[in-house]
Structure 1
Amino acid sequence: MVIQGVISKFGAVFIIIPEPVVGGMFCVMFGMIAAFGLSALQYVDLNSSRNLYILGFSIFFGLVLPKWMQANPNIIVTGSEVADGIFTVLLSTSILVGGITGCTLDNLIPGTDKERGLIAWQDQMKLTSDEDTDDLPSTYDFPIGMSLIKR
């Protein structure tokens, strides 16, 4: 996007792309983003009515409350313009509303660790006893001088 703005000839190439093609690209892109976000739920028991309720209500409330805030912009009156602005912005942010709703419901509605996916997640994240951490890949090491740093 920055290159498109700086080099006008490069930006002109994207202007000639038909709108349906751009719409299709956005559908694929946002579909992948949503799928990546939902992949965090791979260890959660989605056959549980508790988890389905929390997930569904959080997504729905995260979509509905910001739309309601847009329709009623002056509904929050705390007596302080700064506080009104802060609450309006926070309650108009879908991901914040959905995330806080999901986190709150997950902690308020009783559920087992297995139902929440904590046991499967811990099993996946454990290092087995035969693995040695010295043999792990040195992805974040500097190209030279790590032997001096790791003494």
Structure 2
Amino acid sequence: MMSAVLVSMVESTGAYKAASRLAIATPPPAYVLSRGIGWQGIGVMLDGLFGTVTGSTVSVENVGLLGLTRVGSRRVVQISAGFMMFFSIFGKFGAVFASIPFPIFAALYCVLFGLVGSVGLSFLQFTNMNCMRNLIITGLSLFLGISIPQFFNQYWNPSHRGLAHTNAAWFNAFVNTVFSSPAMVGLTVAVILDNTIEVEKSKKDRGMPWWVKFRTFRGDNRNEEFYTLPFNLNRFFPPT
């Protein structure tokens, strides 16, 4: 369970940053990320209490849809949530969407997931991509992020239940879940290499100066416009 939550946090953090970029907002500071992941944890707890099949996480396809439609209004999201609850109560309306052929969904997902992936790569513009160090880190994290999860998924079967099949069930679940997530593997490799390989010239090669002002909520005066909660709820969650 903890491994699934960890993987969900990593994937959600990337989706938060991609959504901010597609919505032409400032990168979310640490306070906003913590707030979002905290509410996501409450959602996962409610999922467990109600016995849902899947857990709560950021919908990557909705982030891609935000980029396609260029609509980042909270009001649109609130109205969409109302429609989702309505369709879940009245099954006849939900059946209309369930009747959409899977090839249409597949084609749409190719565009949406591809758009989110390209947004993630666009953050590399703040680094020096003429530096061989950055090229090695980027290439290796992308390659291992794709190949290692594929390797683990290839050995998944009912008898062994994954590549790791020791006597400790908790260890098997942790290893198989973590290393089956491309986002988790890619992030782990990139973070380790970025903090261990020596910088050739300066921190500018890593793009660190550009991110400094976005680390805190007060670092940019536009953060209050983008990340203040509606209905005056921000007074219950003051920025730190």
- Asked if these proteins are the same fold (TM beyond 0.5), I'd say yes
Amino acid at match of 1:105: L
How many aligned residue pairs are there?
Answer: 138
Q: Distance in 1 between matches of 2:117 and 2:208?
A: 22
Unpaired segments ≥5 residues, structure 1: 147-151
Query: What are the residue-to-residue correspondences of 1:47-62 with 2, within 5 Å?
Result: 47-62=130-145
| Residue 109 of structure 1, CA deviation | 1.0
Q: Which residue of 1 aligns with 2:62?
A: none
Q: Distance in 2 between matches of 1:5 and 1:121?
A: 41
Classify 1:7/1:86 alpha carbon distance in 2 versus 1 (closer, same or farther; 3 Å). Answer: same
Amino acid at match of 2:111: V
- For the pair 1:97 / 2:185, whether they are aligned, the reply is yes
Q: Which residue of 2 aligns with 1:46?
A: 129
Q: Distance in 2 between matches of 1:62 and 1:138?
A: 31
**Aligned with 1:42: secondary structure?**
helix
Decide which structure has the larger Cα Rg and report it. Answer: 1
- For the pair 1:117 / 2:200, whether they are aligned, the reply is no
Q: Normalising by structure 1, what TM-score?
A: 0.70
Q: Distance in 2 between matches of 1:84 and 1:68?
A: 15
Note the alpha carbon deviations across 1:23-58, whole angstroms, 9 max, x for none: 221112102221232233231112222111111111
Which residue among 62, 66, 87 is the counterpart of 2:175?
A: 87
Determine what percentage of the aligned residue pairs are the same residue.
31
| Residue 107 of structure 1, CA deviation | 0.8
Q: Which residue of 2 aligns with 1:8?
A: 91
Q: Which residue of 2 aligns with 1:70?
A: 153
Unpaired segments ≥5 residues, structure 2: 1-83, 157-161, 236-240
Question: Please, which moves more after superposition, 7-16 or 109-118?
Answer: 7-16
Q: Normalising by structure 2, what TM-score?
A: 0.47
